Amino acid sequence: MTILPESDSIWDLVILGGGPAGLSCAIYSCRGRLSTLLLERMLPGGQVVLNDVIENYPGFPEGLQGFELADRMRLQAQKFGARIEAAEVVGIEVFARPFRILVTGGESRLGRALLIATGSRPRRLGVPGEQEFLARGVSYCATCDGPLFADKRVMVVGGGDTALEEALFLANVASKVTLVHRRDQLRGVRILQERALAHPKIEFLWSHVVSEILGDESVRAARVRQVVTGEERELPVEGIFIAVGTAPTSDFLPADIRLDDAGFVKTDADLMTSVKGIFAAGDVRAGAYRQIAFSVGDGALAYRSIFRYLEEEAVTAMPSEPRGNGSQLWPKR
């Protein structure tokens, strides 16, 4: 075990990611008197802040904006003592204890336990023109960029909850919304399907995929292909919103932390990864159901497992080991 300089701050728990899972765990861990540092490269809340209206989170029958829910979670975590830092994690050193978390700028943070709650990011189509016209007609967030397409023709690609929510939001501002789906039926929840199918400004292009995005200075059209016949044609649009699922934010993790074939973090029933003392929760975890309520539950379960882990480690800790900031588990020097 590496003995670190006394000047180094060692946190009981360092949480990587400030989405619902990370913030939920921070609330519980601070109430459990664990010194807790949360690192988030963007605004706390993760992809929650991109939701225009959230209607399925318990306790808010009237619905609320994603940013408002995320901000309430942040305030609650900070109220109980969580420290939130804006930092992007670029690596983790797992061969010594405490763990060292590397962040941009050559700095690092130290933690006796880690929670990986880095969530996921929008999956890309991987077609010609997608990268070229990013922010010039191609977007992954209707709430962010939709107002730029007032009274214009736009396209949404996908057939799940996110795609339907994007289409419904855009229908309030755009002149026409074409939803392109590779299957012949939608995958989203029934209430969203009913709203989208009934909306006069939303049309559906079934059994099609986008094969290329075309434009000059900005997007002007999309080439679509019928998946059965292979027939291709161009559709004139000025904005394309891609909602075809998510990819885990796990590319910075060392090989010691096992991932599944899609890059999601594997855990046991207690949410511990293949490295003892490192846990995962929320959208980045393999097998997780990607809904806000489930991520919040993941964060609570992760706290319980982390607290037990730290208790077990404290039993065998050396009396001379540095004590964390405010920790009740670890002895003073």
Establish whether 141 is a catalytic residue.
Answer: yes
Residue 250 CB contacts under 8 Å (≥ 6 apart), including other chains: 116, 118, 259, 263, 264, 265, 284
Cα 81 to the chain's mean position, in Å? 23
Q: Which tens digits make up the pLDDT trace of 154-187?
A: 999 999 999 999 999 999 999 999 999 999 999 9
Higher pLDDT, 40 or 316: 40
Establish whether 30 is a catalytic residue.
Answer: no
Give domain limits for the chain. Answer: 10-122+246-315, 138-242
**138-242: in CATH 1.10.40.30:** no
Q: CA end-to-end span of the chain, whole Å?
A: 16
Segment 299-323 mean pLDDT: 81
Q: Which fold has domain 10-122+246-315?
A: FAD/NAD(P)-binding domain (3.50.50)
Query: Catalytic residue among 8, 144, 251, 260, which?
Result: 144
Query: Catalytic residue among 12, 25, 30, 141, which?
Result: 141
255 pLDDT tier (thresholds 50, 70, 90): very high
For residue 91, is pLDDT > 90? Answer: yes
Segment 191-199 mean pLDDT: 96
CB 115 within 8 A of CB 306: yes
Residues of the chain with pLDDT > 90, as a percent, come to: 77
Taking CA atoms, 95 is separated from 14, 100, 267, in Å, by 16, 9, 19
Higher pLDDT, 275 or 7: 275
Residue-by-residue DSSP string for 163-197: HHHHHHHHTTTSSEEEEE-SSSS--S-HHHHHHHH
Q: Which tens digits make up the pLDDT trace of 29-42?
A: 999 999 999 999 88
Residue 63: per-residue pLDDT: 86
316 pLDDT tier (thresholds 50, 70, 90): low
Residue 161 corresponds to which tokens in the numbers above?
Answer: 């909850």
Give the C-alpha separation, 176 to 302, whole Å. Answer: 44
